[in-house]
Each structure stands twice: as C-alpha cells, then as structure tokens.
Amino acid sequence: MDKVKIGIVGSKFAADFHCDSYSRNEHAEVVAVAAIDNLEEISGKWKIPSTYQDYKEMLKRDDIDLVSVCVPNFLHHDVVIAAARAEKHVICEKPLATTIEDAKEMVEVCRKEGVKLFYGEDWCFAPALMKVIETVKEGAIGKILYVKAKETHNGTHSPFAKNAKYCGGGSLIHLGIHPVGWILHFLGNQGKNKVTEVIGKTNGGGKNNYVHKDNSGEDWALGIMKFANGEQAFVEGNYITVGGMDDKVEIYGTEGVIKIDLTFGSPISIYSRPGYSYCIEKTDNTLGWTKPAVDEFYNLGYVKELAYVVECVLNNKEPIYSLSGEMGLKCVEIIQAMYQSNREGKTITGNWA
C-alpha cells in the first residue's frame, strides 16, 4: 500500500478540515464522501470522485482503508460501529460519543473487529503545544503544579450542537473536551498518572444560560481535575466569548510559567475600515485591528494529526494512547463526571486516565 484510501462521512465544517489536511499528504487520497446534504459543494471543492447519500453504501467499497467520521455527535456511535463492521479503520471527531455506554461499545467493537479507532484530539498535534511539551521535558519550568486551559467562542451554529440530547450536553462536552483531552495527554503519562477527583460547574442550559437561551445545553462551564501525582488542572468551555475562538493554555511550574495563545497568536496585525474575508473561526467581523490566522488548520494540529493517522494505517502501527479510542472514552467519562458533580454539588472521585 502506497496510499491510504479514505471515505468521509459528513460534509460540513469538520469534513472540510479533514479534506484540507488529507490534501496536503501524498500518502492520502479521499475517494468518497457520504452525507445527506452539501455533497456537490464539498466534492467539487476537494475533487472527490464519488458521493453517497447513505454512508452504509459507501462502506461497501473494498478500496476504502480509513473512514473519517465528521457528523454530529449523536451519530458518531452508529457510524463508527458500521465502519468497524465493514472492516475499515476509523478516525472519529470529538467527543467520541455522547454517552459513556456508546463510547465503550465503540472501543469494544473496533477491538473485536481488529480495526484501529483513532480519537480526533487535534491539540495533541498543535505545533505550539508540541514545542511546549518538549520545553517542559527539558526542565524549563521545573515540576508542574497547575495547568489552565480553555476553548471558548460565541456559540455554535449547528442545530444539533444546540440540543443537549444530540450533543451530549453543551459547551463543556463540545468545547471543554479539547482542554480535557490535551491535559490528559500532557499530564497523564499515557494513562499512568490518573485523574482521581473531578469537579464541574455549569449554568444549566435553557433559560439558565447567560446568552443562548435556545440552547438546551449549557453555554458556560468549567471543570477541575486532580491527578494522582498531585497536579491540578482547570478547564473551561463557553459560548459567551465574543470576538472569535479563544483557545489558551497556561502551565505553572516550580521554576517558571508558560502561556500559549493558540488562536490569537498570529504574527500578522491588520487594521481595516471595510473589513476582509476571514480572520479566525467565529469572528463576528474583521473591522479595526485584527490578527488573522496564517494557517488555522495547521496551527490547531489537524494537519499533523491526520498525517499521523494516515501513517499508522499505512504502516499498520498502533496509535499513541492520546489518539486512541480508549483516550476518547476517558474524555467522555471525565466530562460526564463533571456534569455529575454539577448536578450533585460535590466532588466526584474515580480513577480516570
């Protein structure tokens, strides 16, 4: 095999950045896309030769090695199970599933069918965060004490993400799961340094939301994780932040501090009276001073992440823990423990990695 043949399920935002990332890889070829709408647009943009309205028909093809699952959260379970039973490797976008039970079944079925299940946590491959981990390993800031990470913006446009039933919750599971996954990657020592305590707080959804009253899931949430080695971590995910997607990480050690700006760290500053086409994800406008992303998909880790997935399939290599289905399951378990903490008003103890 000199190329990995890929079928994509979904046709909107996530499918687009998967196509963009694969297009940069000489060992990847998107041969088909399946979705209920937007097929003509995405297939035309990325020159995908075959389209299907039913993904199950696409999965019957013998030439597909890998399936990218880029559909709303509540569909992840069914698509991954179908792909595994069709003997295709799978990369699933976050969150792995909307429930712990679904996530467990996805991991178990993929293991039983002998296919690789990759969990799409792009932050693990964000160049800035990869550089930070190298620097920390050098001892630059001493022993890690505390990590703070967030993903926030002004709200989703997806009707499925606005519905807690289809999303699995609100901004915590939809946005906060990124910092949860990366912190597990950074502090978890590939599953050996386990999370032992979890605290969560949300504003509840619906009429209790600060801004998005029509969202049944919360539009503001935070969580705290305590690790067995003593480190503490704070995560935030909200839909109340205007001005564009704001992804930041702070790391505090005994000998120093590191601060990372993933989305507003552009080396370009533009002042514009009329505005221009695009700055960063979820910006309302491009008037006045802005800092446009140079290569958003690359800087957020998608390009390197999907190149790694292709490499694993090409060379029949097992993924690192941080990009495995098992990791995706742990992220769902921790998010659900945060929701439980919010409901019950207490710390939840466990053994998560």
For 124-300+332-352, CATH gives 3.30.360.10
> Element (H or E) spanning 85, and its range?
helix 76-85
Q: Which residue carries 């993903």 as its tokens?
A: 151
- Rounded to the nearest 10 degrees, the angle between the axes of helix 127-137 and helix 177-187 is 30
Q: Which segments of the chain are extended strands (E)?
A: 4-9, 28-34, 50-52, 66-69, 89-93, 117-120, 144-152, 195-202, 220-227, 232-238, 246-253, 256-261, 270-272, 288-290, 348-352
Which pLDDT score, from 0 to 100, does residue 296 have? 96
Range(s) for CATH 3.30.360.10 in the chain?
A: 124-300+332-352
**191, 203, 210, 246, 330 from 217: Cα distances, Å:** 30, 9, 12, 20, 21
- Average confidence (pLDDT) per 10 residues, the chain, 353 residues: 95 97 98 97 98 98 98 98 98 98 98 98 98 98 98 95 98 98 95 96 98 98 98 98 97 98 96 97 96 97 98 97 97 98 98 86
pLDDT of 191 reads 86
Domain with CATH 3.40.50.720 in the chain: 4-123+302-323
What is the reported pLDDT for 32?
98
pLDDT value at residue 115: 98
Q: Dihedrals φ, ψ of 324, to 5°?
A: -100, 165
- What pLDDT shows up at residue 196? 98
Predicted pLDDT at 310: 98
Bridge-partner residues for 256, per DSSP? Answer: 253
CA 302/CA 135 separation, integer angstroms? 22
CATH classification (class only), 4-123+302-323: alpha beta
- Report d(CA 325, CA 244) in Å as an integer: 30
pLDDT given at position 190: 86
- Which pLDDT value is given to residue 56? 98
Residue 240: CB atoms within 10 A of its CB come to 16
